Amino acid sequence: MEENKEYNILLYYCYAKIENAEAYREEHHLFCVENNIRGRIIISDEGLNGTVSGLKDDCEKYMAFIQGDPRFAKTEFKIDKHDKHAFTKIHVRYKPEIVHSSLRHLDPNVRTGKHLEPEEFKALKDQEDVVILDVRSNYEHELGHFKNALTLDIDNFRDFPEKVKELEHLKNKKVLTYCTGGIKCEKASAFLLEQGFEDVYQLHGGIIKYGMEAGGEDFEGKCYVFDNRIAVDVNKVNPSVVSKCHVCGTPSDRMVNCANSTCNIHVAICEDCGWELEGACSPECKEHPEKRPYDGTGYYQKNTNGYNPYKGLYRESNKETKTVHEPATNS
């Protein structure tokens, strides 16, 4: 029941210059720990990128914390209701980019594709001189994509620049880019402009916002998400299933990670094959010594490598800096 969904899942990003980003990572992480926010957050010199979960009130505090900082006041949150945390832990990492793109020289605050709100995207997408370009990876667009979208054979977004060479014949078209939440399109559309494409757009807020505000019409299949839900419904108007079970080939939008941790591919596997192969993508992976226990979800918590969420965190108290000690039991 909707009224029982006391948790929120937040998806957001913000391109903004952060001086001493590693120190801000510490401050940001402490806030999350103290307010029971869980998820994955990247802090970079170029901005923030996160997917987090928490009780509704805690998420309200978290959004106020971010938007209360003048650097991030423009941050827009995609908010989804849920019945529990979508993550088991909190990780706030410093990385060179907020999305690995190999396009560090591009600043979306300087130049990027024109932002289209969901209803604007919906009105424009079927016009004759328009190309809808999916800038996500193979495992994402194989699970779901817009009707008639052009997809690229890439395993990671950092491969996008090389693939643009194949799109030269589309320079006279309106190019509408889209991704999960909008962050990849900021750099992708900026790169297209740099390469001589003149009429470039991006779906503001990505697939997730399109589903929330425009009903998800003509998005075929499900949308891959980076939390323990793995895949979510988007289309409330004309839904369909476009992906097939990796094992038996029957239509299936049940996305899993292979239980063999050395394989770990993201593929659709139907319920029956999932249990028969114990979450593995093949008989070989089922017998592999690194196969993880399968609980029917196909989601596995990433190896944290001894990561301690309290390490290095400090708070000011009575004008003295005190270390925040980790609890006696730290899961």
With residue 120 as reference, give the H or E element that holds it.
Answer: helix 118-124
Q: Cα 271 vs. chain centroid, distance in angstroms? A: 25
Question: Looking at the annotation, which residues are catalytic?
Answer: 179
Going by C-alpha positions, the residue among 206, 213, 209 that lies closest to residue 181 is: 206
Gap between the terminal Cα atoms of the chain: 30
pLDDT at 299: 84
pLDDT at 310: 58
User: What is the SS3 assignment for 14?
Assistant: strand
Residue 140's φ and ψ, nearest 5 degrees, are -80, -50
Question: Is the CB of residue 224 less than 8 Å from the CB of residue 206?
Answer: no
Q: Which pair of structure tokens corresponds to residue 189?
A: 């559309």
Return the CATH number of 114-224, one of 3.90.550.10, 3.10.20.30, 3.40.250.10, 1.20.1050.10. Answer: 3.40.250.10
Q: Sign of the CA dihedral 137, 138, 142, 143?
A: negative
User: What is the SS3 assignment for 255?
Assistant: strand
Residue 27's φ and ψ, nearest 5 degrees, are -60, -45
- d(Cα 228, Cα 86) in Å, to the nearest integer? 6
pLDDT at 320: 42
| DSSP line for 121-171 | HHHHTTSTTEEEEE-S-HHHHHHEEETT-EE---SSGGGHHHHGGGGGGGT
- Per-domain residue ranges of the chain: 2-98, 114-224
Domain 2-98 has CATH 3.30.70.100: yes
- d(Cα 215, Cα 312) in Å, to the nearest integer? 44
Which residue matches tokens 């706030």? 92
| DSSP line for 193-251 | HHTT--SEEEETTHHHHHHHHHTTTTEEE-EE-SSTT-EE---SSS-----B-TTT--B
Written as tens digits, the pLDDT of the chain (331 aa) is 445 789 999 999 999 999 999 999 999 999 999 999 999 999 999 999 999 999 999 999 999 999 999 999 999 999 999 999 999 999 999 999 999 998 999 999 999 999 999 999 999 999 999 999 999 999 999 999 999 999 999 999 999 999 999 999 999 999 999 999 999 999 999 999 999 999 999 999 999 999 999 999 999 999 999 998 999 999 999 999 999 999 999 999 999 999 999 999 999 999 999 999 999 999 999 999 999 999 998 888 765 444 455 555 444 433 344 334 333 333 3
